[in-house]
Structure 1
């Protein structure tokens, strides 16, 4: 079992190809890259102070049939007042974070705490069966794997917000991320079905194929029938019940035969709720974690777990080099709601709406015009361009430099650039 709590430590040497290509390209242009992960853009002190004020809403909602205890961790910026709390079914909890907040939200299940919330009720080390954070209600550390994560970088300094649903550490509970435009005209113009991903990987909670939530819920996840969410339609409840390989289940069945786990095998019944470790979180092998000699897209391939994740939750992060098909990029300024057990089905936004998502990432809006495929002009209006992987940022001072990027590089750069 992987003992570290933070996936960045497991993936610290796994640098995506986009950064490698981009770094080499800048080297040819004699433009240095800053070494630190954090940077300061050329903004007035008043603006910088405002970004640090905790005024951006971060709402957490429990639509699950059971009590959950959400957990929150802050990597940078000003976090919320509470990093852990109880949510009954149907309840929401509204807090605020700073405009430059970077952090994660997850759900803890089957929890039992002491009356003061400082330890497990019945002794032991863990108070929750999944997502536990040292047995206390108000988390001081990240959640134990396996755990589903909602990850945010609200303002990296480049005018963009980056967010994703990550199953790199495993899966324990369905979740959705819902954008709140906060009466921001720029964000109001973005079609809501491009911004609100959902991952539903728990048996018994998946709606049937072809399900239309808008008949009963006209504003489902802040979308509507005019801008309906594109749902994954191939997976059925039987597949959801067995997508996790046996040896990665938190409570694996008895080993069949002589210790070999056939996958998949429908002859052995699985429990209705069983969190799933990722291959990296369970085995901590370089080939699963994309570390050591496997720290590049060409040498690190998706595992069976990663492939199963993308089938069940197409918009979710599945392994270290899954940036292109799992990162949402919008103009900064929005608040967010994390919804546990959102209902319906998993979304398939990034794959089915790729042209619009590229426009949104580059231009901050969707115009309907298709981008030229042969070449593009890569221009930075501000002082800093940020390249992001798995919650971390790497910065490079470009100023107003204009770079011509060939079509071979465009596929790697598009999702990270602003025109």
Structure 2
């Protein structure tokens, strides 16, 4: 995952997540917090960011020498995002640029973003975490899907939300395109 104006993913990475953090304040020792995407009060994330956050997920050099990519709204939404390929051999670029924060249902509103229903309601219907669980779309996931059709809107949303590229492709992630 190469970027024109930012850090590159370390060599030999096989997968990861990229998200924006907003309204952050850190001291000179790297301790602080962010309104969205916070990483447990540290500047250098060692865990996933806390919702709400718009996430790019990638798994590189997987089945049939393909890279698998997606934009996920499963953890909610904080900023518009675009994932584009800088080489050929991909099934397409992915964008989520809708005004989700402005249109967010009241019960999902959070400072700086639009929360995912799992974080708000904490039930299997929205979290899909029961062993062998097979949750489906809900009115809340449809809210996200209608605004960003190519993004994951709930955990089992694979068929319409995972994109592939040939192994060794380069990508660009743009926040607020």
1:71-110 superposed matches below 5 A = 92-110=5-23
Number of the residue aligned with 1:309:
144
2:126 maps to 1:288: yes
1:336 Cα deviation after fit: 1.4
3-state SS of the aligned residue for 1:111?
Answer: strand
Higher alpha-carbon Rg = 1
1:158 Cα deviation after fit: 2.9
- CA–CA distance in structure 1, aligned partners of residues 109 and 115 of structure 2: 6
- CA–CA distance in structure 2, aligned partners of residues 158 and 100 of structure 1: 17
Number of the residue aligned with 1:249:
109
- CA–CA distance in structure 2, aligned partners of residues 100 and 140 of structure 1: 15
1:381-396 superposed matches below 5 A = none
- CA–CA distance in structure 1, aligned partners of residues 165 and 145 of structure 2: 22
The counterpart of 1:138, out of the listed 44, 66, 87, is 44
1:7-26 superposed matches below 5 A = none
Q: Deviations over 1:347-366 (max 9, x none)?
A: xxxxxxxxxxxxxxxxxxxx
- CA–CA distance in structure 2, aligned partners of residues 131 and 100 of structure 1: 22
Number of the residue aligned with 2:114:
276
- CA–CA distance in structure 2, aligned partners of residues 157 and 164 of structure 1: 16
1:101 Cα deviation after fit: 2.0
Higher strand share: 2
The 1:294/1:248 distance shift into structure 2, 3 A limit, reads farther
1:201 Cα deviation after fit: 2.9
The 1:311/1:157 distance shift into structure 2, 3 A limit, reads closer
2:72 maps to 1:128: no
1:46-195 superposed matches below 5 A = 57-59=1-3, 92-117=5-30, 119-120=31-32, 127-181=33-87, 187=88, 190=89, 194-195=91-92
1:293 Cα deviation after fit: 7.2
2:93 maps to 1:196: yes
TM-score, normalised to structure 1, is: 0.40
The counterpart of 1:331, out of the listed 155, 166, 170, is 166
Higher helix share: 1
- CA–CA distance in structure 2, aligned partners of residues 161 and 95 of structure 1: 16
- CA–CA distance in structure 2, aligned partners of residues 116 and 169 of structure 1: 28
Which consecutive unaligned segments of at least 5 residues does structure 1 have? 1-56, 61-91, 121-126, 182-186, 204-239, 252-273, 343-419
Q: Deviations over 1:250-280 (max 9, x none)?
A: 14xxxxxxxxxxxxxxxxxxxxxx4111111
- CA–CA distance in structure 2, aligned partners of residues 284 and 172 of structure 1: 20
1:392-407 superposed matches below 5 A = none
3-state SS of the aligned residue for 2:20?
Answer: strand
The 1:289/1:111 distance shift into structure 2, 3 A limit, reads same
- CA–CA distance in structure 2, aligned partners of residues 100 and 110 of structure 1: 29
1:129 Cα deviation after fit: 0.5
RMSD: 2.1
- CA–CA distance in structure 2, aligned partners of residues 147 and 294 of structure 1: 26
Whether contact under 8 Å (1:286, 1:293) holds in the other structure is no
1:301 Cα deviation after fit: 2.6
Structure 1 segments of 4+ aligned residues over 3 angstroms from their partners:
none
Which consecutive unaligned segments of at least 5 residues does structure 2 have? none
3-state SS of the aligned residue for 1:339?
Answer: strand
The 1:247/1:140 distance shift into structure 2, 3 A limit, reads same
Give aligned pairs, total.
Answer: 177
- CA–CA distance in structure 1, aligned partners of residues 68 and 3 of structure 2: 17
